[in-house]
Amino acid sequence: MSRILLAGDHFVRNDLLADRLRAAVAASAPAAAPEFRTLELPWPLVPFGPVAEVDEASDVEDELVALAGDTEVIVTQMAPVTARVLAAAPSLRLVVCTRGGPVNVNVDACSERGVLVCNTPGRNAVAAAEHALTLILSTVRAIPRIHGTVAAGEWRSDLYAYDECGLELGGSTVGLVGYGAIGRRVARMLLAFDANVLVSDPFVAASELPDGVTPVGLDELLSRSDVVSLHARLTPETAGMIDAAALAAMRPGSYLVNSARGGLVDYDALAAALAGGHLAGAGFDVFPAEPPSADWPLLRSDRVVMTPHLAGATRQTAHRAAELGAAAVAAFLAGDRPPGLVNPAVLG
Q: Which residues are catalytic?
A: 261, 290, 309
Complete DSSP assignment for 165-182: ----STT-EEEEE--SHH
Contact (CB, 8 A) for 222 and 197: no
Candidates 306, 312, 266, 316; CA nearest to 286 is: 306
Burial label, 189 (beta-carbon count in 10 A; 0-12, 13-18, 19+): middle
How far apart are alpha carbons 255 and 226 in whole angstroms?
Answer: 6
Residues in the chain: 348
Complete DSSP assignment for 197-221: EEEE-TT--GGGSPTTEEE--HHHH
β-pairing verdict for 227-230 and 254-258? parallel
Geometric angle at alpha carbon 264, from 261 and 270, rounded to 5°: 110
Contact (CB, 8 A) for 260 and 231: yes
How far apart are alpha carbons 27 and 38 in whole angstroms?
Answer: 22
Complete DSSP assignment for 184-195: HHHHHHHHHTT-
How far apart are alpha carbons 91 and 38 in whole angstroms?
Answer: 17
Extended strands (E) in the chain = 2-7, 34-38, 49-51, 54-57, 73-76, 94-97, 116-119, 173-177, 196-200, 213-215, 227-230, 254-258, 279-284, 304-306
